[in-house]
Amino acid sequence: MEYSIVVNDETATGKILNQIILKLEREITTVEEIIRTRVTREVEAYNSSPLNIFKGLVQPRMAEMTLNGFKMPLRKKIDLDEQIKTALTSFKENGFFILIGDEQYSELNAEVLLEKETTVSFVKLTPLVGG
């Protein structure tokens, strides 16, 4: 059986910037598997597209940040393994956090029970400027 989850990219104030639906195969999964599934979908979408704008969770190496995503200087495929590693490292270093329902998850190996209408929010943290 497949489980569909709604994935939102949100600001710290709760404004939804992007929304996608992910399919997972097991009722019980982990935070790491949710991140891996999301990044895999984003990389596959980019690699099969003729455009050079990557819309994803974390910035690929050599890409420039733009208003609508990350612009790759040359049209080349993004390495899936490298992108997953970058996303997992970013999560561990508090580059973003994950809310599932009303609960914040901080460990990659934390188990998640998927329900009929599970919503996962990815909240990117913006570094403070100044001192």
pLDDT digits (tens, 9 = 90+) for 90-104: 999 999 999 998 899
- The helix or strand, by DSSP H or E, that contains position 128, with its residue range, turns out to be none
Would 129 be classed as within a structural domain? no
Domain-embedded: residue 21: yes
What 3-state class would DSSP assign to 97? strand
The answer to whether position 110 is within a domain reads: yes
pTM to 2 decimal places: 0.91
**64 and 73 in contact (C-beta within 8 Å)?**
yes
Domain carrying residue 14: 3-124
In one-letter notation, the amino acid at residue 56 is: G
The rounded distance, in Å, linking the Cα atoms of 56 and 70 is 8
Cα 86 from chain centroid (whole Å):
11
Report yes or no on 130 lying in a domain.
no
pLDDT band at 24 (very low <50, low <70, confident <90, very high): very high
Number of structural domains the chain divides into: 1
Structural domain includes residue 80: yes
pLDDT over 70 (residue 117)? yes
| Residue 13 clears pLDDT 90, i.e. is over it | no
Domain presence at residue 23: yes
Kindly report the number of other CB atoms within 10 A of residue 109's CB atom: 8
What pLDDT score does 90 carry? 94
Q: Is residue 11 part of a domain?
A: yes
In a domain, 131, yes or no: no
